[in-house]
Structure 1
């Protein structure tokens, strides 16, 4: 039976992870390794300054104290599988909230997929875009569309092959709609995210100041062909973006050579 390794950045008890387990358990053997607490926006961070403890929650389900999604991948790949064996697929999610545009660089969800492909394991990061992040979850969001899409993608990969080369992964964003409302899937590019200043300054009871970073609204620069992840989701399509880890700006190499030699 094929093996899928699951993780997320919302924590081991997150509703999105539970939905992912429920959707995928009929089609593969699952191993789950997730952070013990929420690690949203931790990026591709690896813990090097303290030991990490992996605790068994139940059969094939583990949490790592204060570990990042990257820690979860690195430790589990090298310690939970027999030498010479790796999972057939890594899936990270279902994240609560979008991971589109440059937010991919902040995302712990995407980072887990990055770590997996560094170890030559096919990977998918999947995120549920929310109209109202808190209210959607309180109202019992069923992740029906996300579960439907991830099962289809996982089956396609497990029964054939991963569509990308090494060190590339699929970044999937699900619009906040029902299966019936979905217009289909669009293959997209990462959009151009606009950022504001969503920080709040406060004073604690001792008069010491502290800052709290909030959630930026989903604002983006329109792409010429309306082919980015933001626009696909807005139009009620599932967005699938191929992401590569090589961030070299190849188009600037020659001009930079000229600049440095001038």
Structure 2
């Protein structure tokens, strides 16, 4: 892409998050970047929208008292309406699997952009748990996000011109932590894993505890996801790129058509 490429950058960890700074610095080397990002952490809010949001100028662009979806709507409709692409991230923590897509604020920002017909990339960093260093103490420096930044900037430079977004509305990118050697990880085109292990337990006293068993299995080196899925790719050290669509498609369904035809005869 040319030097005139313009990008709206948002996230769900907040505008001052280190992963956000990493992408801002990387993309700014070749594009005009405007930050329109939440003022604070908005993780796992999905596509939640607000009626009104407060906006303040920030050294990187705009700080918004709202959700990632708010930021995309405010940005594309008002603050920077003529951008070529939206990038969301880099999230600290992976966004893997089909079941996560609707929950993630990072991914939801890309989905919102897709409804505006603006190409989008959601980028997240896989931070392993269960080691000697607690999860929250990892990935604290811009340099730790270099694998995610490298893949995202490559895709921004080349995917628009290559026609990628003629088939996909957005890309969900998950990158591993950078290796000490500095050697880049390869990119693998993947599909979201369909593994789902949410459980709920009632304690008998009015509380139901919801539990996602997938991360627990991963910490125990139990990875049942088949080859070609996003989770297997990133855990094995590759950058996962899932090309996805956001405007929901519908298909003809003969059984449902038949029910519609007989509806007035039965009610």
TM-score (norm 2): 0.80
The residue that corresponds to 1:206 in the other structure is: none
Residue 94 of structure 1: aligned partner: 90
Give distance in 2, aligned partners of 1:127 and 1:72. Answer: 18
Task: Describe how 1:1-262 pairs up with structure 2 within 5 A.
Answer: 1-48=4-51, 51-58=52-59, 60-65=60-65, 67-81=66-80, 86-101=82-97, 102-132=99-129, 133-138=135-140, 142-157=144-159, 160-165=161-166, 168-178=169-179, 180=182, 183-197=185-199, 217-218=214-215, 222-223=225-226, 226-248=227-249, 250=251, 253-258=253-258
Q: Which runs of 5+ in 2 are unaligned?
A: 130-134, 218-222, 263-267
Question: How far apart, in 1, do the equivalents of 2:186 and 2:33 lie?
Answer: 27
1:211 and 1:16, CA in 2 relative to 1: closer, same or farther beyond 3 A? farther
Alignment check: 8 A CA contact 1:126 1:173 kept: yes
Q: Deviations over 1:115-161 (max 9, x none)?
A: 11211211100000111331313587621211111111111136x25
CA distance in 2, matches of 1:172, 1:146: 8
1:213 and 1:36 mapped to 2: Cα distance?
28
CA contact (8 A) 1:185 1:237 kept: yes
Equivalents in 2 of 1:145, 1:200: separation in Å?
Answer: 41
CA RMSD of aligned residues (A): 2.9
How many residue pairs are counted as aligned between the two chains? Answer: 245
Deviations 1:75-97 (A, max 9, x none): 1112123xxx5101110000111
Structure 2 CA distance for partners of 1:162 and 1:86, relative to 1, 3 Å: farther
Distance 1:215 1:138, change over 3 A: farther
Cα distance between partner residues in 2 of 1:189 and 1:111: 17
Q: Deviation at 1:53?
A: 0.8
Q: TM-score, normalised by structure 1?
A: 0.81
Residues 189 and 229 in structure 1, CA contact (< 8 A), matched pair in contact too: yes
1:33·1:63 contact (CA, 8 Å) conserved in 2?
yes
**Cα pair 2:144 2:178 within 8 Å, conserved:** no
Structure number with higher helix proportion: 2
Determine the C-alpha separation between the residues in 2 that align with 1:27 and 1:43: 30
Distance in 2, matches of 1:27 and 1:164, equals: 20
Moved more, 162-171 or 182-191: 162-171
Alpha carbons 1:90, 1:113 under 8 Å: kept: yes
In 1, the alpha carbon distance for the partners of 2:239 and 2:188 equals 6
SS in 2 for 1:45: coil
